[in-house]
Structure 1
Amino acid sequence: MQRSLFRKYFSVCCSIVLMSIVVLGIIFMVFAAQYFREDKLGALEKNAEYAAELTQNHIVSVNGTYQIVDYNSSLTSSWVPMAKAMNADIYLANLSGDVLLCTHRSNCSHKVYGIDKEIIQQVEENGIYTEVGKMGEIYKSSYYTVGVPMYLTDGRVAGVVFASSSAQGLTDFMSEIFKMFLLSALVMMVVTFALVYIVTGNLVRPLQEMVKATESFAKGDFTVRVPVNERDEIGKLSMAFNNMATSLAQQETVRRSFIANVSHELKTPMTSIAGFIDGILDGTIPPEKERHYLSIVSDEVKRLSRLVRSMLNIAKIEAGEMKLKPTVFDVNEVVLSSIFTFEQTIDAKHLEIKGLDAGKIMVEADEDLIHQVVYNLLENAVKFVNEGGYIEVSYTVDPKRTYINIKNSGEGIPKDEISKVFDRFYKTDRSRSIDKTGVGLGLHIVRSIVNLHQGEVIVRSVEGEYCEFSFSVATAPKALSKQAKPISAREV
């Protein structure tokens, strides 16, 4: 986790920050260059216009022709301060492109090369000319140049005043701007990367703790929990992880208990079987008693068979492999056939059976599985009913569900044990002394099968009086029994 997710997230965030700074720098430099260019051209334009205004005062008419006079003295001297302030050249050209005046006194390239007539025409047509270049062959490097017209009193253009300044200033300006931006960006990257490192660590830490917890789970330690410090998605994930850990711990406890109970239940009959068979083989058991002990071995084998069959059924139900085959049948007929199975025990205990005259009770369910439910509940009732007591079967039917109630007199189930009777291998203290052959899976199978039918099973008991189990299945369509009265929600 530390080497993959943390580094991946940290590197991605840092890459995004770095790319953002680079893009921001490019945009900033472009805007800075644009601002510098517009500012420089704007300043040159203002100075060129002011120079044009000054020049208009020196235009005179000679024989009907306008001429610029006195340009070598006062006119030029008034341009020079502006040119020095702007570090620029100011020069005047006539409409033919000839340079008449220039603040660049020595070796003036403007007068040597002149101005391209196309430039003069653009000034006449557009009222201004701007360029970042070499003005033809005048300059050897790039210059900012602005040209404005000089008008006569009648509105005609008499000439063009140009102001040019070296573009080298942009390079110097951008260099300084870049240095400042680079220094600021470095400081921001250090601070941002540190914050991203801390935030990434805080985000990944719960996941790292989950990894450590899963490693503990793999070793069988389910006590580790992940701290929940936030209410965000990570916090919800941590809570879900802790809930899963609790569930795993409970399942591990159940698994160990299941293995211990199965081992115990298998060990007891197998020990008896081995002991009796060894006694018969080595002659310890006399021949006249061999049949007696072989019958005990047979009972133990049957007990093992019931245990294995019950565990297989539970495994199929829990794995979702047991599929229902619902049919419409008379559940009362199933109850009657199951009661006949215990006829000898019923006669031996002198029991009274009540409620067998209910008539047809039609339900829709898997008949074989419901038969197993009824058999298990009746077997449980026959085992724990008091001698000379009773077993009562009753039905309550409503349009959707039919409730089958099996009640027996006797000691009942203590209140503190009622919630546990459906657990696997659970047997009450009293049942352990009475039931020597049961393994504590019958009621668990009952609940599993009833739940598979989307029903419910309920136990009611009063100590010293009775115990009653009630389970529900779907009522058969259009088969609401006339013999049964609807059950109230309170009774259920």
Structure 2
Amino acid sequence: MKYGIKAFCWLLFFFLSIYLGMSTISLRLIAQNALDQERDQALAAHKSAALLFAAMIEDNEPTTEQWQQLGNTVQHTANNPFEIIDQEGQQLYHSDPLYSGLATHLNQEDLVKNTIQVSEIIELNEQKSLLLQSQIGGSPYIFISTQQLVRYPETLKQGTDFFRILLLVLQLILIPISLFLTNLITKPIRQLIEQATNIANGQTTKPFKVKRRGDEVDDLAISLNQMAKKMNQDLRQIRKEKEKQELFVSSLTHEIATPLTSIIGYAQMLQWEELSDSSTECVDYILSESFRLKQMSEDILRLLHSQKHELQCTAIAASQLETYLAAFIGGLDQAIALDLDLQQATVYMDLNLFKVVAANIVANAVEAMATPKELSITGRIDNDRYFITFKDNGRGIPADQIEKVTDAFFTSDLTRNEGHLGIGLSLVQNIVSLHDGEVTIISKKGAGTSMTIDFALNEVNV
């Protein structure tokens, strides 16, 4: 989950938690106030009825008929159902058959003289009620009355409904507020992420501007700017050093080329003369090494040129590539059994550079193959790219060298006696990268090599 979503959820949860806490407390206070009012009302009614009974009983012990008369008299003034019991719990009178047996809900042993005991809220006849009990004056009789709660449940229901509606309204208000606060919190973080991404993509010259906040985000922004500044300085220094190296190599290569041409020319002139066998052998060696050195110089210049080359891409038909490859490989070595199958498409590429790529890949394949020489070249379309695969039956590449073969100046011949400088596949890598493609090598020692390169399709095919 993204940080912004987490921040939004936490803010909304925080606000709703505060609301739920405050609404619960408020609802409890409102309901308790209603309950206290009804309890006071019940106490007043109970006390009044108990005093009336005490006045009428005096010191007598009423009979059953007298209790009936006394009860009926008090019932006219009392609004709440009640009953009278003696100390043994025997019911002497009840005003309402529906509320008979109220004493079973109370404990008479806990009753204190001259006090009115009020029960917790109980359910009587599916209604919330309070039970009250007290002794009638100094007599051994106990007066029990009930108070049906009306205002308390109504207040509780009305308060609950009100806070539920208020919760829905608050959600409509809190959601945009939480979104606003989330955006306010995450905006500098998103800016930092954007700046870090720019730095990762090499854009180190543009400083990151952030409002002075005096917090950790401000410190992180300053650190990013310092890092970008240092990276920019290092990159400039690296580019300068690289330019110096390329200039040195290019100048050295050009300086070598001029005397090398003279050496080759004079050596060829010596071949026309009548020389002894030992002298002829020396001249031949001079020529072979001179040509090898010339080839190395040309390879270095070609590699340097490819790194700065501006592509001149055009739409090239696959059939045109097929014709070129067949003619090139046929002229290179007629002993190669060529299997050429390119899916028809129009490829967007620099044809001259493709020829350099193909020449280097095929040259490596030819060198790696023994008799019989088998080479297959296939082309296919996949995800708006055109993939060309060169597969030979040569000696293969050791697994530990596959990732290194496209590095400049890498060669499996550590003595370099074969005359290779290790530039060919590096040149292939550079040219394919200029086309936004990749070089994929699959090889196993003794089982041949498969090399795949890819180019963009022309927009007509997309």
Which of the five TM-score ranges fits, normalised by the shorter chain? 0.3 to 0.5
Q: TM-score, normalised by structure 2?
A: 0.48
